[in-house]
Amino acid sequence: MTRIAVLGPTASGKSALAVALAQRIGGTVVNGDPFQAYQGLPIGTGQPDEAERAGVPHLGYGVLAMDEPVNPGTFGEKVRGWLASCADPVLVTGSGLYLRGIWDQLTELPEVPPELAARVRAWVDILGAKALHRYLKAVDPQRAAALHPNDRSRVQRALALYLATGVRASRLLDGVDKGVPEGWRAILVLPGRDRQRERVAARVRKMIRTGWPKEVAALRAAGFEADLRRLRPLGYETWMDEPRSAGARIILDTRAYAKRQGTWFRNQWPEIPTWDPDLETMEAAFEKLGI
């Protein structure tokens, strides 16, 4: 069995490469992005549509109920099930932390007392995520650097872990084995900085034209606003809170997020070969993977 992981920032072109790889080996594309796994978020999370899937089997997209919480460990278990159900899977993800969960490379996280978790949530409500992000940066700069200041749920989780244990979340989340697991081949899709910024802007504008604002409005009308605010997929709260300036704001936030994604992958797995879709051919990617 061939197992391939296609990694990279949002809008880098990794989904297109995953489809091409699956076509080449007769495999199945398997989703490793937690937000793309949820139902009702196809546009804003960038779930591949039928044309983009090009007839290739895809697993793990739009399958989770909005009220089903996941974390790197539980989601990793789900993805491992999807991987085991198909021959020659091509995993695609932009989340390095959730990839750790998929590859079973996370330490066991301690339980946070419910009263402490509730207290930290209250702090976020009162002070805002940005204020708590500054506090997180003071006690755990490594974890703070991996999180957007507006990433409410992950900022509060990191702080709650630190307050409950006295140990930095970055240390608790550190992988047991940092290498690419045996039996896997991986490639990092990494456009040049300027092209990556252009790709992000083009993708967000396409999402808007395709109907992202209507998607958000429909979810709110169906009673899912609380779930969106709890899950915090990138851009959705911006549409709910700042609709007039949402497009420009989301482009800026997504560019910053993509930069952090690329930095995380390069730092965590420096041995993985990189591929620039704007300068190199698909064949070059195949050669780097040895297929």
The answer on pLDDT for 170 being more than 80 is: no
DSSP character for 184? E
Residue 249 pLDDT: 97
The answer on pLDDT for 200 being more than 60 is: yes
* One-letter amino acid for residue 91 of the chain: L
Residue 273 pLDDT: 98
Q: d(Cα 219, Cα 267) in Å, to the nearest integer? A: 37
Q: d(Cα 29, Cα 82) in Å, to the nearest integer? A: 10
pLDDT digits (tens, 9 = 90+) for 262-283: 998 998 899 999 999 999 999 9
Contact 72, 265 (CB under 8 A): no
pLDDT digits (tens, 9 = 90+) for 87-97: 999 999 999 98
Angle at 79 between CA 77 and CA 82, to 5 degrees: 115
Tell me the pTM: 0.82
Q: What is the dihedral of CA 236, 240, 246, 249, to 10 degrees?
A: -60
pLDDT digits (tens, 9 = 90+) for 99-150: 999 998 877 667 788 788 888 888 877 888 788 888 888 888 888 887 878 7
Residue 261 pLDDT: 93
Lowest model confidence (mean pLDDT) among 58-72, 117-131, 238-252: 117-131
For the chain, what is the mean pLDDT? 92
Question: What structural domains and CATH numbers belong to the chain?
Answer: 3-106+176-289 (3.40.50.300), 114-172 (1.10.20.140)
The answer on pLDDT for 175 being more than 60 is: no
DSSP character for 219? H
Q: Report residue 173's pLDDT band, with 50, 70 and 90 as the boundaries.
A: low
